[in-house]
Amino acid sequence: MKNTSYSFWEDNYGDYTPNAPLKGNQTADVVVIGGGFTGLTVAREVRNDNPGARVVVLEARYVGFGASGRNGGFNASQFGFEPGLVKLMWGKERAGEAQNYMKKAVEYVRNLSEDHELDNDYEHKGGLRIAYTPPQVARLKKTFELLNEFSPSSCEWLNAPEVQARVNSPRPQAALFEPDVGVLDPTKHVRALKRLAEAAGAEIYENSPVTTFKLRHGGVEVLHREGRIKAERIVIALNAWTHLFRGPSKLKSRQRPVWTSQVVTEPLSSAVWDKIGWAARESIVDNRKLMHYFRRTACGRIVMGGGNIALPGSRALDRMDTPKLYAALEAQIKWLFPVLQDVKITHQWGGAVSINTNGTPEVSFIGDERVIHASGCIGHGVSLTQLNGRMIADIIAEQKTERTDFWILNRKSIPFPGDPIGHLFGHGFRGTMQLWDNLNERSLRDTPQ
C-alpha cells in the first residue's frame, strides 16, 4: 500500500493550496515558527488581544503537514503518561492542577469548534478506557479513583457486560467512561485554525523554513530562506521537530521524537456496524503503557493507532516505513473486533510525537522571555497545544492568569543527552514499556504485538 499523502486525513481533505512564502527583510511584533495547533492558536489569540500587532507565522512546509494533520484527533484530558505516574512524580497537588488544566483544554477546543461552527467533524461523545486483563483492570481502577478524587463524578466505572453492551467485543474486562472527551478531523481542524488566524489579522506564510534566530538588542532576528525578519518576540512551536532547529543547545535538548503509527479501515456497512454496536460513538483507548486508540470517523471507518513505537533518525520525520507496526495495528483491530476479519485497510501512516525525559509537557523561555518554546505533549496534544497557545498569548500580553500560573510554565527540565546516549535512552524507554505490557498480558496468548 502506498499513500500519496502523509495521512488519511490529508488524503480525505483533498486539494489544498498553501500560502505564498515570505520574501525579503521585514519587521513584526511577534513571529511564530510552526503552523500547527500551537502556532496558529498563538497567532489568533495574540491578534485578538492586540489587533494592532503584526503577527507572522512561518511554516516550513504547509499547514497540516506535521503532527497537527496526522494525529488521531482526540480532544481528551490525559496529561503525560497517566494520572498515577504524574502524581508519583509531581505530587498530588500538581497532578490535580494538571488534570484541571486538561479539562479546561478540552472545553477550550470544544467551545472553539462549536462556537465558530468549524468544519472539522467535531463530536463530543465521551471516551472509554478499557482493560483486557486483571493487572490492567487493577491499574485502571486506581486511575478511576484518582480522577474522581481530582474531580468528583468525572468518570464512571463499567464492568465487562456494561462495556460489551456499548461495544460488542469479547476482549474488554472493565472500563472507565469519561463523558468529557471529543474527536475531530485533525487536518480539517488545523486548516480551520489557519482561517481563524487569518480572519483575526495574522499573516501566515507556508513553504517558509526558518534557518535560525539571533537575539538582538531589544528583540529577536529570525533568519528564513528568503531573508530575515526582526521581532520583539518569537514563539517556537515545532514540538517533535524542535531538535532539528538550528538554535541554542538548550533548545535542542528539550525533547526527542518517537514515531507512532495509524491505520484506517475501509468504510464499514451498516450491517457490520450493527454487529459491532458502538452506536454511541465513544472514542476508545486501552490501558496499555504503549496505548492503542480507536475511533469512528464521520465517513464510517475505524481509525486505530498507537501501540509499539519506532525511533526515527535525525532526518526521518517526514515519513517512515513501518510495515511491522502497521501489520500489528491491523491485527489489533481484528483481535478487538473479530467480526472484522475480512476488513480492508485503506491507509497507513505515521508521525512524530514529542517526548522529554520526565514525560511532562512544558512551555519554556529560551534565554529570556523574548523566546518562548512549547513541546513534550507525549502524544496527547490536541487539547493541550491549543490551551498552551492561549497561555503563550497571555505571556505575550503580559497578563497574569490562571494559565500562566500553571506549573509547566518554565519548569526545570532535565535535558536529553546527545546521541548515541539519547538514542539508547529511547530504546530503553520502548523496551521497558513493551516488557510491562507483555507481563500484564501473559494470560492473553493471542494478543497481537
Q: Tell me the per-residue pLDDT of 437-449, one tens digit each, with 9 for 90 and over.
A: 888 888 886 677 6
Residue showing cell 467512561: 177
Q: What is the DSSP letter of 66?
A: S
In the 8-state DSSP scheme, what is residue 314?
T
Quick one: which H or E segment has residue 200?
none
pLDDT of 428: 83
What are the sequence ranges of the domains in the chain? 1-12+19-125+183-255+356-415, 256-355+417-449
Strands 219-224 and 210-216: antiparallel
The angle at the Cα of 95, spanning 92 to 101, to the nearest 5 degrees, equals: 140
Residue 420: cis peptide before it, omega within 30 degrees of 0: yes
Q: Which residues pair with 30 in a beta bridge?
A: 55, 233
pLDDT at 180: 97
Please report which confidence band the pLDDT of residue 1 belongs to, taking 50, 70 and 90 as the band edges. low
Residue 167: DSSP 8-state: B
For 234, the grid coordinates are 518569537
Let me know: does 75 contact 126? Beta carbons within 8 Å: no
User: What are the φ and ψ backbone dihedral angles of 165, each rounded to 5 degrees?
Assistant: -75, -25
Angle formed by the axes of helices 134-150 and 92-115, to 10°?
80
174 CB-near residues (< 8 Å, 6+ apart): 130, 131, 137, 140, 141, 157, 158, 159, 160, 163
Residues in CB range of 138: below 8 A, 6 or more apart:
none
Q: At what angle do helices 37-49 and 381-396 cross, to 10 degrees?
A: 30
| pLDDT at residue 356, as a whole number | 87
pLDDT over threshold 80, residue 392: yes
Nearest to 49 by CA among 201, 231, 233: 201
Would you state the cell numbers that stand for residue 209, as one nine-digit string? 523554513
Q: What is the CATH number of domain 256-355+417-449?
A: 3.30.9.10
Task: Give the confidence band of 429 by pLDDT, cuts at 50, 70, 90.
Answer: confident
Q: Which residue has the cell 524542535?
A: 242
Share of the chain above pLDDT 70, in %: 97
- Asked if residue 374 lies in contact with residue 385, where contact means CB atoms within 8 angstroms, the answer is yes
- Separation of alpha carbons 378 and 375, rounded Å: 9
Query: Residue 414 — very low, low, confident or very high, per pLDDT cuts 50/70/90?
Result: confident
pLDDT bracket for residue 314 (50, 70, 90)? low
pLDDT in tens, 140-160: 999 999 999 999 999 999 999
Instruction: Give 188-216 pLDDT, tens digit per residue.
Output: 999 999 999 999 999 999 999 999 999 99
To 10 degrees, the CA torsion angle through 234, 240, 242, 243? 170
- Provide the pLDDT for residue 449: 62
Q: What is the Cα–Cα distance from 301 to 125, expressed in whole angstroms?
A: 16
Reported as a single tens digit per residue, the pLDDT across 87-115 is 999 999 999 999 999 999 999 999 999 99
Q: Please, what's the b/e burial string for 265-276 (b: 16 or more CB within 10 A of its CB; e: otherwise)?
A: beebeeebbeeb
On the question of pLDDT at 3 being above 60, the answer is no
Q: At CA 358, angle to CA 288 and CA 425, rounded to 5?
A: 80
pLDDT at 4 > cutoff 80: no
Residue 279: is its pLDDT beyond 90? yes
The percent of residues in the chain predicted with pLDDT above 90, rounded, is 80
Give the three cell numbers for residue 284: 476508545
Q: Band the pLDDT of 251: cuts 50, 70, 90.
A: confident
- Cβ neighbours around 293 below 10 Å, total: 23
Residue 6 has pLDDT above 60, yes or no: yes
Question: Pseudo-torsion of CA 193, 195, 198, 199, nearest 10°?
Answer: -110
Residue of 47, 41, 389, 20 whose CA lies nearest to 193: 41
SS3 182: strand
Distance CA 360, CA 365 (A): 16
Q: Are strands 203-205 and 55-58 parallel, antiparallel or unpaired?
A: parallel
Least reliable range by pLDDT among 237-241, 276-280, 367-371, 419-423:
419-423
pLDDT at position 2:
47
Q: How far apart are the first and last CA of the chain?
A: 21
Of the pLDDT bands very low, low, confident and very high (cuts 50, 70, 90), residue 320 is confident
What mean pLDDT do residues 7-17 have? 96
Does 319 score more than 90 pLDDT? no
Average pLDDT value for the chain = 93
Candidates 3.40.50.150, 3.40.640.10, 3.50.50.60, 3.40.50.300; CATH matching 1-12+19-125+183-255+356-415: 3.50.50.60
Best CA proximity match to 83, nearest among 124, 37, 129:
129
Query: What is the DSSP secondary-structure string of 100-162?
Result: HHHHHHHHHHHHHHHHTT-SS--B---EEEEE-SHHHHHHHHHHHHHHHHHSTTSSEEEEHHH
For residues 256 and 416, the answer to whether their CB atoms sit within 8 Å is: yes
pLDDT digits (tens, 9 = 90+) for 238-250: 998 888 888 887 7
